[in-house]
Structure 1
Amino acid sequence: MPSRNNKAWRTIVVSMTAVLTLSIFTACGKENNTEPEVDNSKVVVKYTGGEITEKEFELEQRIIALMSPAYAQFLEMDEFKEYLARQSVTYEYLFAKADDAAKEAAQKQVDDQIAQYKTGMGGESQFQSYLEQSNLTEEDLRNYMHRIMTVSEYEKNQVSDDEIKEYFEDNPTDFTRVTVRHVLIQFTDAEGNERTPQDALKLANEVKSKLEAGEDFAAIAKEYSEDPGSKETGGLYENRRAGDWVPEFKEKALSLELNTISDPVETSYGYHVMKVEARQEITYDTMPDEDKEDIRNELAAGKIDEFMQNELNDIIESMDLPKSENSGEQGGNQGTEGPEGQGDQGQPAEGTPEDTTDSNNGE
């Protein structure tokens, strides 16, 4: 995604992370065609046009815990529960407003994704057992995925080509394609011991000297680099969007003379010694369709984010969530960012220069 503004618990992050991480499962279960149970549990949220019961909210939490284990620890925090409830209202409310075209498109996406899991993951019995441990069914997952994907599809359909073009024109260098090699020296060593900035810089300058003396960049990267996303490929990031990297790395990738060795570049990860091997500017007319689709997704997520910031408070009529034990007083509206101090959900794996995480390549 082209955004360089990845807030913690940003709108759609929790939900779409849960959907996408279905790929960790070994198979998919059978549909539950039994009659739904009557839900007589307490209403915990009332909003214009609907309500969420305690049982429904517990189901949402079980899905989050199963699909995205990194969030499980936060489910004991009342502050996070409130954010999750607000997000649930957002998707329930917007789902009710979505048109049939968005719902039909989302249903096809759900069916296709479930079919892929069943084809590629080796049978249903193991997955059924996995679901049963969390008291979930395939129908629970299908309903959840359909709601999230419908809202996403509907908001994407509201994004115009003019908005996509305007976004590109405001951020043209984000889409410049760059092939770069780098060696990263972190502020901690391989054993987890802290390095002083001076020690890290000294080692980075040693790397630079070896490269300027003509030693092979790939070999030096494999020996010295502490970036797990590129170390084994000789420090190589090939034909990447510049906007996917943190600002300092991006700036140097866009400005460094081709095939020269940079001075150490400091980022939050440490010091990078870089060499740009190729760089191609992109115009709107030559921009790949996948980039335009990423912009569309980004703008759609932004529309949901704006809804949570500007309209949600007027829609929620009451909220009475069950309190976690020993959680203390943590209430208060969180808008779209959630509790402070929980880090940046868009933060890449430690040691990589990218500003967004790419789950397909380990960066």
Structure 2
Amino acid sequence: MVQIKRKVLAITVVLILLATIFTGCNKESLKSSLDKNVVAKVNGVKITKEDFEKNFSIVEKSYSKWYGEDIWSQEIDGKTLLTIVKQQILDKLITEELILQEAKKMGIKIDSEKVEEKYKDFSKQLESNKELKKFYEEKNIDENFIKKQIKMELYLKEFRNKIFEQAGLNDEKKLQELIKNYPIKVRARHILVKDEKLAKDLLKRIKAGEDFAQLAKEYSEDPGSKEKGGDLGYFSRGVMVPEFEEAAFSLKKGEVSDLVKTRFGYHIIKTEEIKTIEDLIKDGLEKEQIEKEKKIAIDYIKESKYNEKIKELKENAKIEKFEKNIK
């Protein structure tokens, strides 16, 4: 099977931008400072190494506590967890700066009283946790940093709501209509091979009319489905790796994909059956389970719309990364 958890790592820290002011430097020394103290630029706005390090220290503390210090040297797809987490934090900082810029263009404003209220609540919790308070003091995670995190969290919430509002996804009637024919589960076959040339040849043979299941039995390198003609049975969203899932759920019944590359190799996917909410109702699924599936479908529809907007922002932005400064 090609199943894998979609979120190997969960980074829940809200990341925000801090400005670094350089004074008393000539052009050469200023450039040198920028090289060392800036980890990225988003449409000309700097993301500082200081901001990055504070955010990383929070994540590092949590992971070390949960999994132990040895976790950082463990590898996933040839990269250490340390490298992966640092790259994720950098990407999240960049995304949030993009959102902050767009939110301000949309006219979104954050009430300072809400920030103060949330900060007071957080301060009370911090006071009762001596260990965490000491850690924050050691890392210079001060009031200004915390308040900016809180403000960013509020911006994110308002930004998401604005995106959903613009797409009409806050309208319950529209949502119910959308999910009627939304693919909830699919039954698919696949052929998995490591060699790209072989994958291309197999795809040509399938398009020429050769039997998909037979070719899967002969060539697929997935031991879990090979003998079943590549049949993976029915599966819901969130089970397969993202690239595989996106292809399988976007195909029509009986349609075959182009080559889909994942960490496992090259896949050719054929979607055999599609189940919608209406189909599940006809199948006699219990009402409680139907409502659960509807909620999952709505969450995916909203998340897809949100991700489309983030993708659009990234495509239209000037983003510079200085990854040497996060090693």
Q: TM-score range by the shorter chain?
A: 0.3 to 0.5
More helix, by proportion: 2
Greater RCO structure (CA 8 Å; 6+ sep):
1
TM-score norm. by structure 2 comes to 0.45
TM-score by length of 1: 0.41
